[in-house]
Amino acid sequence: MRPFRYLLGSETASLSGSAVSGVALPALAVLELHSTTTEVALLAFVGRLPSTLALWAGALSDRYDKRRQLIASDLVAAGALATVPAGALAGLLTIGQLYAVLFVLGAAKVVHDAAAISLLPAVVPPQRLQEANSRLGAASSVADSAGSNAGAALVGAVGPARSVLVDAASFLVSAVFIWRIRTTPGPPDQPPASRRRRLGTDIADGVRYVIGQPIIRTVIAALSTLGFGLAVMNTYWAYYLLTTLGVSPTALGVIMGVAGVGSLAGALLAPRIAARIGVGPTIVTGFAVSPFAQLPLLLAGPGLGWQIALAAALTVQLFWATASGTSQRSLSWGTSVLSHHSSLGPVKGVRVALC
């Protein structure tokens, strides 16, 4: 499964770099650009705004070459990130530029994720999707943990702006891995005739399909509700730690890196957990743990003890979130496989983007 190994390498490279930026960009905005709470909130909003394009990205991933979409999104992301250290070096970096960079990154991520998820069933057989998802989750967790710790070290050594260069380089490495996927096993994703269908028609068909599928519809509704709450919390998480609790950028990176161990364990143990208690209970547990894991943040104060407590709570949250996410993807693809040979096959990419 050489194509899968290249896809795995691509995801690991880009996610490790993004974890570096996950430490560097908040530190840059808060500590060097002295952003206000409103500016931080707008920064998070702009970064998430492109997620509204997921329907279109999913449909496009089903129509056109996924390999080219992945390479193009990686190169666009690398170019956008490179402007941050360039602006800082010239003394021209502003919060407005960060807005633009994060919007472009968000759009590139939407395209990349839709294409990568759609590509996975083409590079691994259906019976190995659960294993492949678990390996991707484990690699993502390792990359996130290593990237967060590397980001903490880099921010302390060279400053947050220059640290972003590592993320830009990671996207270039990711593009090289995707470029090495020369062929995609199996039949073409779409016959030429289907590409003449209007994009809006495909999206509408996909939405109707999702509404008509109780399993996928329920998972999406739950994910949307939980995602909204976590998005509100995540908007101010780094800002609160860096300002109110007085956590240093290095400590912030270490907290995120340590918590990545929980994500790794969740990815590795997801198949066993699902086999023991079932896919549904695994997903529900992941949903239930997330809000309770935020309680220590409400009580936290300055000091090493609270930093350890926050890292432990985040570790537990990421363990169950990753186990739940792996089960969600496998469940969604299991449902999709059942309809692969049906008349609704062409809307697969739309369903993937929604999941």
Residue 340 DSSP symbol = T
Asked if residue 206 lies in contact with residue 55, where contact means CB atoms within 8 angstroms, the answer is yes
If 0-12 CB within 10 Å is exposed, 13-18 middle and 19+ buried, where does residue 353 land? Answer: buried
Residue 203 has, within 13 A of its CA and on its CB side, a CA count of: 14
Whether this model's pTM surpasses 0.85: no
- Model pLDDT, residue 122: 78
- Model pLDDT, residue 331: 63
What is the maximum alpha-carbon separation in the chain?
63
CA distance 139 to 7: 11
Residue 196 DSSP symbol = G
Mean pLDDT by groups of 10 residues along the chain of 355 residues:
85 88 87 87 83 74 83 95 94 93 92 84 75 76 77 84 93 94 53 56 71 74 74 76 86 83 82 85 86 87 91 90 76 52 38 40
- Model pLDDT, residue 187: 41
Smallest Cα–Cα separation from 101: which of 38, 52, 29? 29
Q: Burial letters for 15-47: b for 16+ Cβ neighbours within 10 Å, e otherwise? A: bbbbbbbbbbbbbbbbbebebeeebbebbbebb
Smallest Cα–Cα separation from 37: which of 271, 335, 242? 242
CA distance 124 to 236: 39
- Model pLDDT, residue 242: 86
Q: Burial letters for 155-187: b for 16+ Cβ neighbours within 10 Å, e otherwise? A: beeebbbbbbbbbbbbbbbbbebbeebeeeeee
